[in-house]
Amino acid sequence: MKFTVDRDALADAVGWVARALPARPVVPVLTGLLLSTVPENTGQDDIQGPNGSGFLTLSCFDYEVSARVRLRAEVAEPGTVLVPGRLLGEIIRALPSHPVSFADDPDGVSVTCGDAAFLLTPMRLADYPELPELPQLAGTVDGGVLAHAIAQVTPAASRDDTLPMLTAVNLELDGPTMTLAATDRYRLAVRDLLWHPAPGAVERGKAAFLVPARTLSDAARMMIHGTEVRIMVRQPAGDAVHDGQAGPGAAEAMIGFEAGERRLTTRLLAGEFVRYRSRFPSEFGCTADLPAEAFAEAVRRVALVAERGTPVQLAFAPDRVTIGAATQGQARARETVAAEFSGGDPAIAFSPQYLLDGIIAAAETHPHHGGPHAADGDAEPARVRIQFTGPAKPAVISRPPGTGNDFRYLVVPQRVG
């Protein structure tokens, strides 16, 4: 094997693939990164492309998650090698901005870049698992739209590994509608979006998949606005998932996301997601519309004096909301933000982080937004709506009518001593 590749492109590719390397591998070989090169085929009697042009594919797989990325390289001698993944990542990040050359060496694999030279001891290739293939295309969706939806719902997923089902995002496909939902029992985030099912996918009916939230967030890193994302699935025969119910053997099923030259796959989690649709109240006694950015910034400032586990309190009036918090014997804070409020029970309290996650996610209505600001062309800053019935019942954060109601965030309030 012998090839040369652009350093910046390689660093970006290695950094993305290395995120899928296991922190605690079952066997040491799973910490390896697979490098495979092939010459470019011109389509004319298998003649190699000009100037030794070809492709380098970097990939990894730990029986749960696989990641692969392909980039252009100058390939002199095609081949495949398995090298320590995290070590390679550290080396590439430290290299100067010059082309990086790899070559077989009697003692291993040489890596040279300018005046820097390294020698890596390859890992045993025969012990490495075969990467999974997902031939069944479920459909496609705009990368920016899906990445944005993932960013909205994943903060609500649980980090408690003792309840694996709650560490997942429920990805539901129902005709042209895709729904993402996540919960940690204290808040529930749901986002609807349009996608394009593959021919025949609609006839197969509704399907739901429990996708690990962390892996889904990593998949979002390869998605950009205007680029098509292909969603692929693999399910054991006879174990289809219908009407949101996971059938036997669903833990062995896989889902994959492919955007451009990058692909990430993951095993699905077994189990049945909570029946979340019925958790949203149909009626509310109180409604408040607020400017998202001003509200979020006020909550951040006031929360500085809140002790761990202490809520921020919201006290509404017809034209404003006062946010308050305190640390016993140390500090108190309050700030007022303009609001449109109607209802008879104007006080409620929340975990500051849970409240902020809902405000920010509800306010971001476009894939290219980085915060709760107005959409391109909007005359006014983005606004959010909080609806609740009393201080002990769940509240729902969303957008006001007519400004995008495809995201809902249900959050359980905290009692104030």
Give per-residue pLDDT as tens, 273-300. 999 999 999 899 999 999 999 999 999 9
The runs of H, that is alpha helices, within 173-232 are 213-220
- Closest Cα to residue 362, out of 403, 411, 314, 397? 397
Residue with tokens 């962390």: 214
Q: How confident is the model at residue 241 (pLDDT cuts 50, 70, 90)?
A: very low
Name residues whose C-beta falls within 8 Å of residue 382's C-beta, 6 or more positions apart in sequence: 291, 292, 293, 363, 364, 365, 372, 373, 374, 375, 399, 403
pLDDT in tens, 17-32: 999 999 888 899 999 9
CA 341 to chain centre: 34
Query: Would you say 273 and 365 are in contact if contact means Cβ atoms under 8 Å apart?
Result: no
Mean pLDDT check: name the lowest of 4-8, 50-54, 86-90, 267-271: 50-54
Q: Does residue 366 carry a pLDDT above 90?
A: no
Please give the Cα distance from 80 to 56 (Å, whole number): 10
What would the pLDDT profile of 319-350 be if each residue is shown by its tens digit? 999 999 988 878 999 999 999 999 988 899 99
Structure tokens belonging to residue 238:
């006879």
Phi and psi torsions of 302, nearest 5°:
-65, -35
Contacts for 171-175: CB closer than 8 Å, 24+ residues apart: 171/208, 171/209, 171/210, 171/211, 171/216, 171/255, 172/206, 172/207, 172/208, 172/209, 172/244, 173/138, 173/139, 173/197, 173/201, 173/206, 173/207, 173/208, 174/206, 175/202
Say if residue 56's pLDDT is above 60. yes
Q: What is the pLDDT of residues 182-235, one digit of tens each?
A: 999 999 999 999 999 998 764 556 889 999 999 999 999 999 999 999 999 987
pTM: 0.86
- Residues 162, 183: Cα–Cα separation, whole Å: 14
Tokens of 169: 């995002």
pLDDT value, residue 309: 83
Residue 370's pLDDT band, with cuts at 50, 70 and 90, is very low
What single-letter amino acid sits at 267? R
Q: How many CB atoms lie within 10 A of CB 243?
A: 10
Q: What is the C-alpha to C-alpha distance for residues 57 and 52, in angstroms, rounded to an integer? A: 16
Q: Which amino acid is at 294?
A: A
Q: What pLDDT does residue 368 have?
A: 41
Does 2-42+51-127 carry CATH code 1.10.730.10?
Answer: no
Return d(Cα 403, Cα 382) in angstroms, integer: 9
Q: Which CATH architecture has domain 286-366+381-411?
A: Roll (3.10)
Q: What is the mean pLDDT of residues 367-391?
A: 66
Q: Domain 136-237+251-267 adopts which CATH fold? A: DNA Polymerase III; Chain A, domain 2 (3.10.150)
The model's confidence at residue 415, banded by pLDDT at 50, 70 and 90, is confident
What value does the mean pLDDT take over residues 39-54?
A: 60
Domains 136-237+251-267 and 286-366+381-411 share a fold: yes
Share the mean pLDDT of the chain.
88
159: left (phi over 0), alpha (psi -120 to 50) or beta: alpha
DSSP summary character for residue 156: G
The pLDDT value recorded for residue 133 is 85
Question: pLDDT grade, residue 381 (50/70/90)?
Answer: confident
Domain boundaries, the chain: 2-42+51-127, 136-237+251-267, 286-366+381-411
